[in-house]
Structure 1
Amino acid sequence: MTSTVRRAGAFAILSTLSLVVPLFDPVTAVPVAAAVLLAAFAVTDGPLFDLFAYPDDYEDGRLYGLITFVLAATALGLVSVMSSMSTAVFVGTVVLVGYGNLAAAVTREWTDNPASHAAAFCVGATTAGVAGHAISRTLTGDPVTDTFPKIVFLAVAGALLAALLRDILILYDDPVVMLAVGFLCWLLAELVPGLGATEIAVATVVTVAVGYLSYALGAASVAGMLTGILLGLLTIVLGGYSWFAVLMSFFAIGSLSTKFRYDEKVDRGVAQENDGARGSSNVLGNAAVALVAVLGYAASAADLPLLGEANPELFLFAFAGSLATAMSDTLSSEVGGVFDTPRLITTLEPVEPGTDGGVTWQGEVAGLLGASVVAGLTYAVFPDVGLVGAAIVVTAGFVGMTVDSLLGATIEGTAVGNQGVNFLATLSGAITGALLVLAVAVL
């Protein structure tokens, strides 16, 4: 057994101490955390130090990894005590991170495949998250059987987010991972209604299959795959399969457009990096607004006080408008990039292919067609949208695409990067869609 596996095992066992919280009064956990912190500061060498030490800890002779792990767990525990976050969510989160790391560390001993590491983390984290959540509820006398599908969903969503953060952050950023997972699970516990076991199983299988297919075909990196699976799962559970179909239309057609005359785009220097495989930043830059719209829809449907009397329809058009923008922008860039006549959108002066803010009429037509595809699918899967609603989605996509080009010509590369521009453009498409729906309702 290597030192990496031993360290991960030690942290996993340490995470199990979170069960002290539901077993006794929460105040009882304070001395336990204090004792562990004191030991972390006091131990500067020897076998115990070697057990918990990360490579960087040796330089200063301090168990910084252990200290931050305990502090993050303590902070999450305090949030649980002082808010509506359940103790079960807190315990499930802590053991999810601890045992997910252990599963990934063991797998690294067998293979160098990053997809296998991510899969092992997710399986170990989900199993531990479900067990920790269920045991915590049992210890506090809360029902488990009726809520078990929801427990599984929270564990799967938390494991996906943790695996994603683990892939894009440094290997021992447990505090960031733990806090992010805890707050996500807290939010989802408030938003998600009663779920059936079949619903969760089917949603998980569908999203994992689609995500892995995108990775196997080279359309997404490991981080991009994890991001896509998480977005897809949340979209299905919080919105439904109609929302998921619209989301997948962007990912599928966008990925195919990336491969369009790819070698030619490589020669021109305008091709998507990593052989066209989209990473997490690219996925989130284009779909983060859509995810927020899904969360807003779920919150409005759940009548959360934060949103008051918000109309769920607004979030649907914000969702469709943001994805129509993402589709328009992607197709206009991928198709327009192979033509020799781009002009800067702000001055109409000829520019080199690939210049930020450069547009071609071929790219504009492709972008308009992309928005029309999203609008047509939205019209097909949401009967209440109607022809007027479909026209709104097309308009929102075209407006968002134009905003993307304007931002590219003015602030991209100085104030914000490409993914920031994508986010702002999809946000403008979402806002346009929602405002046009309000305008039509007034008329």
Structure 2
Amino acid sequence: MTRRLRRAGAFAAVATLALAAPVLGAATAVPFAAIAVAAAFLVDDGPLFELFARPGDRRDGRLNGLAGFGFAAAALALLLALPRAALPVDIFVAALLILGFGNLGTEAIRTSTSEPFFAVAGFGAAAVPAAVAGQYVVIVYENAVVNWSAMIFLAIVGTLIAALLRELLYERDDPLVVLSVGLVIWLIAALIGPVPTPDLIAALAVTAGLGGISYGLGTADVSGMLTGVLLGVLTIVLGGFGWFAVLIAFFAIGGLASKFRYEAKQARGVAEDNDGARGTGNVLANAGVALIAVIALAAAEQVDPAAVVSLALPFVFAGSLATALGDTLSSEVGCLYDNPRLITTLEPVEPGTDGAITWQGELAGLAGVGLVGGLSAVALPLGSAVVGGALVAVGGFAGITTDSLLGATVEGDRFGNQSINFFATLTGGLTSVVLAAVFL
């Protein structure tokens, strides 16, 4: 057994102290705080130190990793005592077990392979069952009704968030991961209604399968794959398969467009970094507005399913994704052609210049917004299907035009490409909503 695997097992054992929460409540913070204090100030050598020490801990002479984990767990445990809306005990337990056993699963895989995809798979294979088991123990102790679908859904969402953060952050940032997972799945638990088991199984199978394909084809790196799978699961469960169909159209077509004639783009100096694979930043910049719309829909339906905001959110979702796909196709196709012109002055510029357009790229962008508009007309509740789909396409065109204008005027030192993409997709979504309010 390797040192890293032993250390991960020891951290997983500490995480299981969370199972005392059904009995101790907020007092569960006491043992975690005691562990944190001992790690930070008392244990500086010996077998226990060697068991928990990370490389940086040996340099500093104290168990910073264990101390941070203990303090984060203690802080999360204190939320169990909030007077009006306390953190549910099962959420607290799940958050700690996801990280503790997820890291153990990763290290177990790393004893035989260093491939990042399999390391993430190991994280999920250990974290999800541990989180489900932890929630089950709490629910049985509290003599509550066991809702397997909801438990599994929260375990999956929490695991995806934890795996993504572990991919993006350093090992020393585990305290941030624990707190983030606990708070986010607490929010999601408050938003979800009943989760039909067939929908959950289908959501997991479809999104995990497509995520694996995207990684295998090189259209997404590990973090991009995890982000896409997380967005897919949330979209299916909180919105429905119609919403997911629109989302996956962007991911699939946009991902393939980034790989289209990639060698030619490299030769012209306009190829995307990372061999065209999408990372987390790229995914969220293009689909972040759509994610916000889905979460807002779930929140609105908990309050008043017939509210005006609930009726507007499908247009926000579709208009933002029409912009995202239109902009992606416009950029990935347009950069292959000569004689681009700056959108603000129409003067000739070099290929790849921010804010540059070609007629071929514009046609590709129109095809993208039209595709999302047509798919949205069929899959989303837009009122009048034909008119609604057309309004989504017009909103998408406004979004891609905004992207080009911002690229020509402010992109650079002040705003990066991902910020521009986010504002453009927001413009596309809001434009679709305004048009729907006027014409529907």
* Matched letter for residue 311 of structure 2: E
Alignment correspondent of 2:113 = 111
Alignment correspondent of 2:164 = 164
Alignment correspondent of 2:322 = 324
C-alpha distance in structure 2 between counterparts of 1:310 and 1:300, whole Å: 9
**SS in structure 2 opposite 1:422?**
helix
**SS in structure 1 opposite 2:193?**
coil
Q: 5 Å matches for 1:373-412?
A: 373-382=371-380, 384-412=383-411
* Matched letter for residue 94 of structure 2: G
Alignment correspondent of 1:420 = 419
Alpha-carbon distance, 1:228 to partner: 0.9
* Matched letter for residue 399 of structure 2: G
Provide the alpha-carbon RMSD of the alignment: 1.6
* Matched letter for residue 318 of structure 2: A
Alignment correspondent of 2:135 = 133
Deviations 1:391-422 (A, max 9, x none): 21111111110111111112222112111111
Closer, same or farther: CA 385–210 of 1 in aligned 2, 3 Å = farther
C-alpha distance in structure 2 between counterparts of 1:350 and 1:142, whole Å: 68
State whether structure 2 residue 98 is matched by structure 1 residue 99. no
| Range with greater deviation from structure 2 (97-106 or 168-177) | 168-177
C-alpha distance in structure 2 between counterparts of 1:439 and 1:170, whole Å: 49
Alignment correspondent of 2:247 = 247
Instruction: Indicate if the aligned counterparts of 2:29 and 2:78 stay in contact, CA closer than 8 A.
Output: no
| Range with greater deviation from structure 2 (383-392 or 156-165) | 383-392
Deviations 1:218-249 (A, max 9, x none): 11111111111111111000000000000011
C-alpha distance in structure 2 between counterparts of 1:435 and 1:70, whole Å: 49
Deviations 1:116-162 (A, max 9, x none): 00001011110111111111122222222xx1110000001111111
Alpha-carbon distance, 1:385 to partner: 4.1
Alpha-carbon distance, 1:380 to partner: 1.7
C-alpha distance in structure 2 between counterparts of 1:179 and 1:362, whole Å: 47
Q: 5 Å matches for 1:117-196?
A: 117-144=119-146, 147-196=147-196
C-alpha distance in structure 2 between counterparts of 1:407 and 1:433, whole Å: 19
**SS in structure 2 opposite 1:85?**
coil
| Range with greater deviation from structure 2 (113-122 or 71-80) | 71-80
Alignment correspondent of 1:7 = 7
C-alpha distance in structure 2 between counterparts of 1:299 and 1:262, whole Å: 41
Q: What percent of counterpart residues are identical?
A: 50
C-alpha distance in structure 1 between counterparts of 2:107 and 2:131, whole Å: 17
Alignment correspondent of 1:22 = 22
C-alpha distance in structure 1 between counterparts of 2:76 and 2:234, whole Å: 23
* Matched letter for residue 367 of structure 2: L
* Matched letter for residue 279 of structure 1: G
What are structure 1's unaligned runs of at least 5 residues?
none
Instruction: Indicate if the aligned counterparts of 1:191 and 1:302 stay in contact, CA closer than 8 A.
Output: yes
Alpha-carbon distance, 1:4 to partner: 0.6
What are structure 2's unaligned runs of at least 5 residues?
none
Instruction: Indicate if the aligned counterparts of 1:343 and 1:351 stay in contact, CA closer than 8 A.
Output: yes
Q: Give the TM-score normalised by the residue count of structure 2.
A: 0.96
C-alpha distance in structure 2 between counterparts of 1:84 and 1:193, whole Å: 19
* Matched letter for residue 350 of structure 2: E
Instruction: Indicate if the aligned counterparts of 1:300 and 1:310 stay in contact, CA closer than 8 A.
Output: no
Alpha-carbon distance, 1:310 to partner: 4.4
C-alpha distance in structure 2 between counterparts of 1:172 and 1:60, whole Å: 13
Alpha-carbon distance, 1:93 to partner: 0.7
C-alpha distance in structure 2 between counterparts of 1:47 and 1:196, whole Å: 49
Alignment correspondent of 2:287 = 287
Alpha-carbon distance, 1:260 to partner: 2.3
C-alpha distance in structure 1 between counterparts of 2:242 and 2:35, whole Å: 49
Deviations 1:252-285 (A, max 9, x none): 1112222222221111111122222111111111
Aligned length: 436
Q: 5 Å matches for 1:243-282?
A: 243-282=243-282
Alpha-carbon distance, 1:440 to partner: 2.7
Instruction: Indicate if the aligned counterparts of 1:23 and 1:140 stay in contact, CA closer than 8 A.
Output: no
Alignment correspondent of 2:335 = 337
C-alpha distance in structure 2 between counterparts of 1:273 and 1:45, whole Å: 45
